[in-house]
Amino acid sequence: MSECVTGYIDHIIFRNEDNGYTVMVLKGVKDEDELTCVGTFPVITQGASIEAEGSFIQHPVYGKQFQAVRLTEKMPEDAMAMERYLGSGAIKGIGAALAGRIVRHFGADTLRIVEEEPERLAEIKGISEKKAHEIAIQIAEKSEMRKVMMFLQKYGISLNLGAKIYQKYGDSVYSVLQENPYRLADDISGVGFKIADEIAYRIGIHTDSDYRIKSGLAYTLLQAGGEGHVYLPREELFRRAEQLLGVDASYMEKHLVDLSMERKIIQKEENGQVFVYPAQYYYLELNTARMLRELDIDCPEDEHIVERRISQIQKETGTVLDEMQKKAVKEAAGHGLLVLTGGPGTGKTTTINAIIRFFESEGAELRLAAPTGRAAKRMTEATGYEAQTIHRMLELTGMPEDDREGQPVHFERNAENPLEADVIIIDEMSMVDIHLMHSLLMAVTAGTRLILVGDENQLPSVGPGNVLRDIIRSGQFPVVELTKIFRQASESDIVVNAHKINRGEQVEINNKSRDFFFLKRYDADIIIRVVIALIQEKLPKYVEAKPFEIQVLTPMRKGLLGVERLNQILQRYLNPPDPSKKEKEIGQGLFREGDKVMQIRNNYQLEWEVRGRYGIPVDKGVGVFNGDTGIIRTINEFAELAEVEFEDGRYAQYTFKQLDELELAYAVTIHKSQGSEYPAVIIPILSGPRMLMNRNLLYTAVTRARKCVTVVGSEETFREMINNEKQQRRYSSLDKRIQEAE
């Protein structure tokens, strides 16, 4: 049987701001000195008078409690209640002493004065007219927000999301939700189509609503972007949207026309097929193609002088360049744009070094960059020339005011403030998506030479587009492909086997190699035991590395050998619980001091610093990116902060709410390992979807290792992956836009 209690909130013991679950102490309750009340409440204020509906329960540890199912906040009914409310800290700028003066001055009339004549608060010493006005606004806003949050709670909207919605729409939230809740997906970060659709369902909006179908089509294209696609063929868009919406595709044609008229999508017809682009992606490709064309200008150089300089470079460095490497230097000298591509061991680094020396001898100013901190560090070590991440070179300063996903980040270097360089060399181009390529080209002026280096057989970028492959496929720019495996590299079975895999040739797995091993195991738990033994005992001495530097690479996130399960098990063995190590539960797992972690999405505003001696900051900046890995150094429960030291020496602090941007990284997917290099990699393989378990994926995994590759698992699956050259089709069209550009 439901009961009611009335009282005031003396203090809050615990509150989860995500779901509103609260444990608080009520006073002034009839027949109770104080009463513990628990429940889920959208908005709560210490000092507030409330009426709670629910039932008394006996908690096995905490004793008698009132479990509230409904709570109504009542405005203070007398002077004492008003003083308590105002002095609780609920109203910014009013403390207990000032609250006492207000109530003593106005007595029983305080509530009416605050609500109807707040300007009279200026009669109190210490309150100016401006402050009185601010107090009035706060009280009105709190009252309105309380009503809105109660309204939103009826539709299952969480507190954090409710606060964002209120901040965006204010009291017009009622009309927005009743007319078109799908606006939330467009306007508010963190609200996708599915959340908006759930709200719409609860409100009673029909499944064939125009708003719903248009929003569902836009959402389907956005999801495709998350898979790397720049567009979808119309039939595939309709098929995917049909599955999402449960609405026949025949309803969708007119909505596609509406979205075109609203300029949210671009439809392009080619060879009788219609391709549908989110407008932003279409123009990113179009403008990228135009800018690439503008950079591709002839830079005539005297052939004899170039030959003489190449000879001089070989003499000075003691290296001998083959014909294709010499060709690369000549093409770099004679063109504004060059693509240099090739697999492992084909001499890309030697060629880059020769190109750097060539332009240095001309007194040119060079800039080197790569997509990730790890790749930039490797580039620096290989060339002896400082390389930066592309984001850092472009001087990232954070997100624009509208931080919706898909919006370009704000770079200080752009068309108005271009990079000051004569030659720019970008490595690991296979990782660069269409957003980053567009931003880079915006900051490069015609006349600057741009040299793009990468291996087109690596997996494509995580973000949308297929930039390197499309530039090569367009056939419009100078491309030098290095294919010869040099003697030193040919002694490495990692390099030899990587090229075999890429050509679809089977690899010999007799374990006579010094750097490529295959341990046949056919049970997932046994495979994991072998992986742990390799990391803890076998490999560290063999490759002269710490256990944390040895990386497990797996094809999948889910499953018996997926990232999620592997990380939980590896954490137990590689960083076990210890009284000296603090922990923080997050989602279904936990983080512990000393854990190896990876950033899983771009955060353009997270601040970091590099520390010198005695921990003194010597460099600062913003931006931590998808794929950056590091170690959790400290967890501070009191400050609710965790500090991560990233591999390139940057330290960044995460609030506990930001920890969902990190995940354990003892094992990572092969996709996430792009652009990275590890002393040793372990690849557990058993089974998986045919579309995923392919040659391209295996080639990428093997080429991540510097000293040793160990495959643990099924020989049959390994051989099937080499034979399987089917990749998931990635819809991109930069090559076509380049061919069309004049």
Which residues line the annotated binding site? 345-349
What SS3 state is found at 269? strand
Helix then strand then coil, % of the chain, to nearest 5: 45, 25, 35
Cβ atoms of residues 180 and 212 within 8 Å: no
What SS3 state is found at 439? helix
CA separation for the pair 494, 500 (Å, rounded): 10
Nearest to 710 by CA among 490, 488, 543, 524: 543
**Edge-to-edge strands, sheet with 479-482:** 387-389, 366-370, 423-426, 449-454, 337-342, 479-482
**Residue 318 φ/ψ region, left for φ over 0, alpha for ψ in the -120 to 50 degree band, beta for the rest:** left
Name residues whose C-beta falls within 8 Å of residue 205's C-beta, 6 or more positions apart in sequence. Answer: 181, 211, 212
What SS3 state is found at 3? strand
Interaxial angle between packed helices 234-245 and 210-226, expressed in degrees from 0 to 180 and rounded to the nearest 10: 120
Question: φ, ψ for residue 587 (rounded to 5)?
Answer: 60, -130
Cβ atoms of residues 672 and 627 within 8 Å: yes
CA separation for the pair 267, 234 (Å, rounded): 9
Cβ atoms of residues 5 and 30 within 8 Å: yes
∠ Cα 487 490 495 (to 5°): 140
CA separation for the pair 359, 17 (Å, rounded): 57
Question: Please, which residues bridge with residue 423 across strands?
Answer: 366, 449
Query: Which residues sit in the known binding site for ATP?
Result: 345-349
What SS3 state is found at 562? coil
Nearest to 213 by CA among 153, 277, 257, 147: 257
Cβ atoms of residues 473 and 735 within 8 Å: yes
- DSSP assignment, residue 428? -
Q: In which residue are the tokens 């000298």 written?
A: 333
The torsion defined by the Cα of 220, 226, 231 and 237, in degrees rounded to 10, comes to: -20
Cβ atoms of residues 374 and 648 within 8 Å: yes
CA distances from 257 to 230, 238, 245, 263, 267 (A): 19, 13, 18, 10, 9
Question: φ, ψ for residue 35 (rounded to 5)?
Answer: -135, 130
Burial state string for 549-569 with b = 16 or more CB within 10 A and e = fewer than 16 = bbbbbbbbbebebbbebbbeb
Q: In which residue are the tokens 């098929």 written?
A: 239
Question: Please, which residues bridge with residue 276 across strands?
Answer: 232, 267
Name residues whose C-beta falls within 8 Å of residue 212's C-beta, 6 or more positions apart in sequence. Answer: 182, 197, 200, 205, 206, 245, 247
